[in-house]
Every structure is written in C-alpha cells, then in structure tokens.
Structure 1
C-alpha cells in the first residue's frame, strides 16, 4: 500500500469544518436552557465566528528558492523547521478584553505540539480546555499547559483576555521538542521531550519550532458586554455500562511489517504495519478485512505502540471513550474523558477504548495519523457486519480506475475478523 496523503496535506490540502448543534450552536447570547453560550458572537442565529476562531497548526520547511521542501525518503516521519498557524508564519491576532474560543487542529505531517500561553514576562497563564477531537468534554479543565497534541487531534480551548490591559501581548508557545541529540537531527519518530515554559522561551532546544508561535495583541474593550460563559458541566458521556461487551480486539502498531496477500490496488509495501489479535504484523492491504464488528454491538479495543515510536491512531467514523492507559483507568486524564477518534499511543504504551457500532454500516480505516506512517502501510481496513446478504459479508473491495470503480471479493479475511 502506498499513497500521498502526507505530501498532499503538507502542500496545504488541509482545512477545518465546524459542526454545530442545539447545545453548541455558535451564538453566545441565546439562553434557552440548552445552548451552552460558549464564546462565539451573536450577529447570526448560529455559527458566529467573531470570538470562535480556528487555528490550524503545521510545520513546514523551505528550500533556498523559498519553495516547500519535503523529504520523501524518510519513512520515520517528516519534521519541518518553520511553524505556521493557518499557513501563516510568525502571525499575530488582535483580541478584545473578553473570552475567546480557539479550535486547534494539529495539521502537521509528523510533528506533535504541546501548547501553553505566556504573558509578556514569560509566565504561564491559565487556559480552559473544553473539547477534544470535536467533542465537548463532560467538564471543562483549567490548565497551565495542554497535553501533547498528536497529528489530527483537535483541542478546543477558551482564553479569557478580560484581565489583561490594552496594549499587552501574550503568546501561544510550543513546548514539544523533536530534536534527537543522539542522531543530532529533528526526528519524526516521536517527541524527544517536553520543555518547561522557561526552557522553551530561553532557547534550550535545538528544535526551531519550539517557542513562541502565535502572538495575541489586546487592542480594545468589547463593544458589547461579554455574555459568553463556560459552564461547569458541558456534555456527559453516554452511559454504556448497561450494554454488554460483544468482544475485545487487540491491535499492535510497529515496524517490519510483511505482506501476505496481493493488494488489488498497489504492490508497494512500506515498513510500517499493524498486528491484529496477536497475529503477524501486516502492511496495509486494501483487500484485507482485519475486523468486522456486528452492527449495534459494543466492543473494547486495545491499541499498543512499539517502544521507539509514538503513533496517533485514527479510527474512522466511530468515536470511542477511553477506558484505560497502560491498563489503568487512573491514567486517563480529565481532558481525555470525552469522546475521541484519535488516540496517541505513546512509546510502548497502550490505550483501551470502547465503541458501540450503532449508526452506520460500511467499510472504514484504522491508521496512524503520522501521515508518513499512514502512506507507508500502517493502515488496516475494518467494516461493520450488518448480517445482510451473503454477497455483502464481507463487503466487496472497490477498485478505483480512471475509467470508474469496479468491485472484487476481499483478498483476505483475518481469522478473528468476524
């Protein structure tokens, strides 16, 4: 399996799409007992963006001609040396003395971020995390620094600028260091270390993307009173305790994958792969079905990473609840207790999640969102078994061609898939 997701995302084919609901409608002035009145604005009935701001983070590298540079031969991952926010270098954002919501997407190829807010003297300032991967948390979490943010993870935060004076400047600071002193280079394998604010601002890292990356300029008082709020309770998690667990599955993400079948789309085999339920570590094959949970059932999946790497794993189309990290529920922090769809494994770590396959049938992916790893075979196909017609169990494999799409039977169904 081989594709070009990493290069396409790197070149700018990335964007954010906000979704609203009665609970989170993007109008802070509607107090109807349902709407949470999160910072947004009030000119429109929904979807106001005056105080609800998308931040797309991505690192880049440029050649001597000012063109984007990308190393296509480093399968560990690509790390740039220039930070961008919404594809702008060294940006600033003018704010009023009131609350703002920032929806933050890590749109890098392989870089992790760890963000904090610094005032003019470099002291950490409080920020409130309200959502993770697009889902509101059960309760807001007040932090001085966010957790590491893997590729494709989305963190929503609220910053209250009301206590700062007009003319003050604050900075969003990256604390996550990707410089590996052993190899003496930036590495896409995993973050090397997380720095303190003083270290990040004091030049303690050889990673040029550590430090200040977005400046906030407090320029005026709000024209109208700030009626937005952050409630103590946002949205409770669905209670799955009464739903029986149909089965458990295990997925190991590692290197040195093999290919046991003839992929119907491509013959390329990258170094990365996934082992399912204790089986062989396999490179991706579009024709192989690795898991087929039954429609309507609940399952528990444990994802495990190799020792020298960190993988943010994206499970398409279903959101889960994190039950445990490294086997313990006590290791799950408050900001990971909402519904998620991207799960950082951490080096040699495990994460256990639960999902109920309740809404849709179809064929989906599970893959590493370090997109270099994804392109080079750390991906599997899973689908939801709806107990339908025999010729649709498992689903036929779509084969795209310039002339259209044809369908073939799967080339392989793993023994534990069904």
Structure 2
C-alpha cells in the first residue's frame, strides 16, 4: 500500500494458495525480501527549488512530473543474476501512462495483469501502455547476458506526454533513447546490472498454461449497466462534506453526468448475481483508467468486439484504460461481501475532481432495509448521514 504521490508503505503481502507454478521467486539470502520476485512502483515527481515535492492543485486535466522514480528512487540501478526474475510493476503515477521496453529490445514475458495470473503467458518486446493503478507482472530472463562489470540493460519508458490527458504518442526504443523528446519522462528509468551467475541453479519456469478464468457461462446475467465517463458534470447534492464539485463526472444508464457525491447510490447489484457493465469514454481528448473496487472482472469486448481484447487483458482485471472514444464491456459476479464500494477514474486528478461514484451490494440476498449511511468525520467525532439520493436505475432496470 502507498499514498499516491507522497509516500510508500513498505509492507508486503505473501499469500500461499497451494498452487505452485514455479514462477521466479525465492531468496538468495536467509533474510530480507524476495530476491527474484520484485515489486517496482513507477511514478513521476516534480521538486521545487527547495527540494520539496511540487503539485499543481489547480490543474484538473492531470498532473505530470518531470522525473521518473522507481520505488521512489530516481534513475536507480538493480544488480541481478543471470537468471529469470519476476517483476510486479505498478503504475503509481498521478496522470502519467507508461509503456515499457528493454533498451536492447529483448523479449519480456507478461504473466499477470492487475494481480491476476493470465490464462497463458504473453511474450512481448514492448508492454502495452500501462494506465495509472494497473499492475503488470513480467518475467525477464537475464541468462541471455554474460555477467560482467559492464553488462547492463535498461528499462525504458516509451510513452511521450504533452499534458496529463493521455500519451501524445508512443516512441520507438531508439527515439526514446535519443534524448530528443520534449518529455523528460521518456527514456531510461531503471538500470539492470547483470553482475554474476545464479547463486543456485535457476529451477523457475514460465508454464504455457497459468490460471484459467472462472467459467461464468452457466451463470445467468441478472442485469446490464452502462457508465460513461466525461466532463461537464452537474451536482445534485447540497451537502458541503459528502458532495464534490468538479469538472469531471459519470453518467449511469444514460442519465445525467454527475460529479461525485458520497451520499448518492448509483448502482445496487444483488449479492451472488452476475452483471455486465459497459464502461464508456465520453470524450476523445482523454484516456480514463477506470478502477472498480471490490471485484475482479473478466473483459468481454473492446469497442463492441471480443477480438479486440488483447491477450494480456484476457485475465481477470480491475482497471481498464478506455482509450479515446473507446468502451470496454466487462462481466462480474458479486460473490463475497456486501456493502459500499466505489468506481472511479484513476487519473487521480480526475478522481479528486469528482469522477467517482458509489455503488452498494445488498446484504447477501436479503432485501435492502436501507443503504449504508456515509461516515462524516468531524473534529468532534464521526457522524453518519443517510444517502440523500438513490438513482432511479440503481435497483430497478431502466424502462425499455
């Protein structure tokens, strides 16, 4: 966990689920973190003349920094053995997208997306654009290099930005390394130094089959919903605490474009049921990475076509880049928990300026007595406020 932009919580989770695919992992030493299974958090920062982090609170399109950090270090190096490593890469930026490659064009194997193993690994020389909060797990095999003091390869960012709306274009590796880009975030971001042969034989592997998706074909679809993300939002609430007034908003089921209001329930799926949601980009000038809390989903189609879902998006996910004028159709089943959850754009400037909505799952199939109240913190303690609005289509489908 970490606080976007300002700080990192260095805690780590390890889960033993009884499945051993022999992916790269383990330790070379008897202490410390995993040596061959490595977390990388990418984020752009800007510092002022006093060395303090700078942030423009009046920029509502998206904030860009001019220095790329990896695990909060600028231009770090990482000494590796000539063996396979797994890297779990998080885009922890505010508005910047990344597109990663190795400086010599060597292949990487993507094995997971948003923390979920793919059905099958995908070999790539360049990763797809990685939106804010997306997680890409890749395997790099450094055994192709001869260890030595001058054996190095760099992780390179190819996504060039002019502003915080979306990447201006993706560069070739040679263009990114040329130093001619106007975007200082392009180019080398992490140096790998291949310094020695493996301390122990590398027994890790990347199986041809990883984790198949759950089969939902026999689960009936209870409801379809549409969410459109755009600007020009209205606000219906008058509460100064639970409502947010900003330029960004979300339309639910072709309703009004509404800014965030934590006292408004926009969707009310039922526990145990399966639904299909369509996420639409309401404008062509931006790309929105949309994050759905609580549940992992399967991607059914991009722009109306199942064939446009690339192989690296065919595992379970919880963040989708909509692309300019694009849409994504997903399916999810509400299986484990009831309660209050969120859906929002993870361009964090958009999120903070009201591109967020609240949805609730009923209490394990029981009829709703009332939606959960919203906790309102104050210096005198926490008070609870009942939702001041429930959209007409939250619990009942729109009239045909």
Identify the residue that residue 270 of structure 2 maps to in structure 1.
Answer: 294
1:231-287 deviations in Å (ceiling 9; x for gaps): 111100000000000010000000010001224624540110000000000000010
Identify the residue that residue 140 of structure 1 maps to in structure 2.
Answer: 121
- 3-state DSSP of counterpart to 2:74: coil
Identify the residue that residue 348 of structure 2 maps to in structure 1.
Answer: 371
Identify the residue that residue 112 of structure 1 maps to in structure 2.
Answer: 97
Unmatched tracts of structure 1, length 5 or more:
1-5, 24-33, 180-186
1:177 equivalenced with 2:153 (yes/no): no
Unmatched tracts of structure 2, length 5 or more:
396-400
Identify the residue that residue 83 of structure 1 maps to in structure 2.
Answer: 68
Contact kept, 8 Å, 2:100 with 2:156, in 1: the verdict is yes
After TM superposition, list the pairs within 5 Å mapping 1:350-369 onto structure 2: 350-369=327-346
1:68 equivalenced with 2:53 (yes/no): yes
Aligned pair count?
Answer: 390
1:197-247 deviations in Å (ceiling 9; x for gaps): 111112342100101110000000112100111111110000000000001
1:414 equivalenced with 2:391 (yes/no): yes
The TM-score normalised by the length of structure 1 is 0.90
Residue 17 of structure 1 deviates from its aligned partner by 3.6
Counterpart pick for 1:94 among 79, 84, 94: 79
CA gap 1:224/1:206 in 2 versus in 1, 3 angstroms: same
1:274 equivalenced with 2:250 (yes/no): yes
1:366-406 deviations in Å (ceiling 9; x for gaps): 00111111111000000102343653x32222222233332
User: What is the alpha-carbon distance in structure 2 between the residues aligned to residue 203 and residue 390 of structure 1?
Assistant: 59
1:107-142 deviations in Å (ceiling 9; x for gaps): 0011000000123xxxx1100000000011011100
- 3-state DSSP of counterpart to 2:4: helix
Residue 18 of structure 1 deviates from its aligned partner by 3.5
Identify the residue that residue 154 of structure 1 maps to in structure 2.
Answer: 135
Contact kept, 8 Å, 2:242 with 2:376, in 1: the verdict is no
After TM superposition, list the pairs within 5 Å mapping 1:16-415 onto structure 2: 17-23=12-18, 34-41=19-26, 49-119=34-104, 124-167=105-148, 168-179=151-162, 187-263=163-239, 265-266=241-242, 268-305=244-281, 306-386=283-363, 387-388=365-366, 390-391=368-369, 393-415=370-392
Deviates more, 1:376-385 or 1:37-46: 37-46
- 3-state DSSP of counterpart to 1:177: strand
Counterpart pick for 2:6 among 11, 20, 25: 11
User: What is the alpha-carbon distance in structure 1 between the residues aligned to residue 208 and residue 16 of structure 2?
Assistant: 19
Deviates more, 1:405-414 or 1:294-303: 405-414
Contact kept, 8 Å, 2:242 with 2:263, in 1: the verdict is no
The TM-score normalised by the length of structure 2 is 0.93
Contact kept, 8 Å, 2:243 with 2:262, in 1: the verdict is no
CA gap 1:228/1:338 in 2 versus in 1, 3 angstroms: same
Contact kept, 8 Å, 2:28 with 2:199, in 1: the verdict is no
RMSD: 1.9
Contact kept, 8 Å, 2:243 with 2:263, in 1: the verdict is no
Identify the residue that residue 3 of structure 1 maps to in structure 2.
Answer: none
Contact kept, 8 Å, 1:14 with 1:107, in 2: the verdict is no
Residue 169 of structure 1 deviates from its aligned partner by 0.5
- 3-state DSSP of counterpart to 1:330: helix
CA gap 1:22/1:46 in 2 versus in 1, 3 angstroms: farther
